[in-house]
Chains A and B, each alone.
Chain A
Amino acid sequence: MSNIVFPAETLDLVKKIIARYPEGKQKSALLPILHLAQAEWKWCSSDVMDYVASLLSISPIEVYEVASFYTMFHLEPVGEHVIEYCRTGPCCLMGGVEVYDHLKTRLGIQTGETTKDGKFTIKEVECLAACGWGPVFQIREKYYMHLTNEKVDQIIDELSK
């Protein structure tokens, strides 16, 4: 627990985020700060969530119940690159199933698994609001659109370097 502390500049940002809400409503900063925490530590361990609770002066359970509700927060360790592919209708119409199968074959893992070298995790998610540009996956903040098997190979090659 003791080694879980945001760097100074992130702590400044945390203060600025809390200031977006009226006095006493700092709990509203929970989602933005959980995103910062996940960016910092890759996943939301209970130690990380306890730290977030302490920053907002709320009880840890208030963080757990929120982190476990929203799909974006990883409650288990993940690989360096988390590939979240859209499995919903429109992406499937654009050949998503075949492309995602290729992705899994290429990495030798199934959805929800991490490669042995800890480099990639695959997750399947629901609609990413990019239906006209499908199939789509995202890795962190970046959207990868109009995916094909060749494109998937290029992306994996690039990230494997």
Chain B
Amino acid sequence: MKILTQHIDVPGIETIDVFMKNGGYKAVEKALKTMAPDEVTEEVKKSGLRGRGGAGFPVGMKWSFLAKPEGVPRYLVCNADESEPGTFKDHYLMWKTPHTLIEGMIVSSFALGANTSYIYVRGELMYVINILEKAIQEAYDKGLLGKNILGSGYDLDLFVQPGGGAYICGEETALLESLEGKRGNPRNKPPFPAVKGLWQSPTVVNNVESIAATSWIVNNGGDAYAAIGIGRSTGTKLISASGHIKKPGVYEIPLGITVEEFIYSDEYCGGIRDGHKLKAVVAGGSSVPILSAENILTTEAGEKRLMTYESLSEGGFATGTMLGSGGFIVMDETTCIVHNTLTFARFYHHESCGQCSPCREGTGWMDKVIKRIETGKGRMEDIDLLVDVAKKIEGNTICPLGDAASWPVAAAIRHFRDEFEWHVTHPEEATKPGAVYMRPGASWSK
């Protein structure tokens, strides 16, 4: 079942003519000519679509919070700041089929009553920004953007905004600050953007994939979307698969397939690279807890784990994780968990905006202490120190970056403490190039 990527390999799909020949922009026609804005919102609510950036908050509900005071402009801002390590699905979608996003932007802006909308793209993707701007111009030329779209009386201007290289701008209030030309410091909430967002006007911020899905929902109805998937995990999800698999790439899956099928079937990752065994997976982008091979494939209750929000988080953080952004990083037995955790800790240290002391200082401490362990200078008490620092960041910051920084460190120690200990007790061995600890009796160990 493909919704977003159905035509992604059609030659020329990035051009508006080919896109329209493949059914593109039908949702704009349908929504603007035959539906009221609230009816579009209603379909999105019925669809059960959840925010695809990572948080998983229901999109229709988020839309319904939008304040609509008379005479005040409202904005839709697309979050295309995709920066969570392991995640590259939005990059792929915008690069290959920019009109899929633009069509969704028009439909969603119409539902929200926004007459100006922005797509905030991470600045490194300047080539994608160029692709989007070209596609937006094509949409203007066809009368799908601008004044009185398709004679419906609805006006919409759409612009692309480049970021400047800051992970924090993926947090929606930091993104709005950045769009206002400021440092990306997250705002205190409330007020939420739905009440006071861009330039203090009511604003909805949604991820690329969420917005792109709304066109299909308009065309086929919310019920049809909700019929895909399992329970509260409705529809399809783009999964960015990276690491030690045969076929890294972006896959659109119907939510609800098993993790095992995703990793091992030829339709998706194609299995672990030849001659190697699965050791660990980070299932939803670097911030979600890493799990060992056993825990990712099977829940504590002994059931096969599914690619859904609920199944991946089953067992809480003790044995579960999160679907997050769908950044699925696969590691085989050659992976040093300590080194991998170090790269994540370094990442969050670098990306902390510095506003909140627990995050600004704590991410630096975690980076330094893991580095100490990784380079063979660690002490046994450092391991608990890391757990302690992580605990003191979590929940004590304005935005979720603090949690995102603490979870991967805490989880790596929770599931791979013996590997950290080995670095402390065997510093010479552990610092040899390519040296990796083998857990006695583990399924991945030689």
Q: A residues engaging B (CB < 8 A)?
A: 20, 22, 25, 27-32, 34-35, 56, 58, 62, 65-66, 69-73, 84, 87-90, 92-94, 125-134, 138, 140-143
Contact = CB atoms under 8 A, between A and B. Distances in A.
Given A31-B162, A93-B243, A88 B343 contact: yes
Nearest to A28: B181
Contacts of B21: none
A129 B125 contact: yes
Given A32-B161, A89-B340, A129-B122, A69 B183 contact: yes
Interface residues of B, number: 58
A70 B123 contact: yes
Contacts of B244: 93
Contact of A143 (B122, B127, B346): B127
Nearest to A70: B164
Given A69-B183, A90-B329, A127 B83 contact: yes
28 contacts: A28-B161, A31-B162, A32-B161, A35-B123, A35-B164, A69-B184, A70-B163, A70-B164, A71-B166, A71-B350, A73-B165, A88-B286, A90-B86, A92-B343, A93-B243, A93-B329, A94-B243, A125-B124, A126-B167, A127-B86, A128-B124, A129-B82, A129-B87, A129-B122, A131-B242, A132-B240, A132-B242, A134-B242
A138 to B, nearest CB: 6
Contact of B88 (A89, A131, A138): A131
B180 interface: yes
A71 B165 contact: yes
B204 interface: no
Interface in B340-364: 340, 343-344, 346-347, 350-351, 353
A87 B343 contact: yes
B84 interface: yes
Prevailing SS type, chain A contact patch: mixed
B216 to A, nearest CB: 24
Nearest to B182: A66
Contacts of B242: 90, 93-94, 131-132, 134
Interface string B78-102: 0000111111101100000000000
B40 interface: no
B178 interface: yes
Nearest to B269: A132
Given A88-B286, A90-B86, A126 B350 contact: yes
A133 B245 CA distance: 12
B145 to A, nearest CB: 13
A143 to B, nearest CB: 7
B166 A131 contact: no
B329 A89 contact: yes
B181 A31 contact: yes
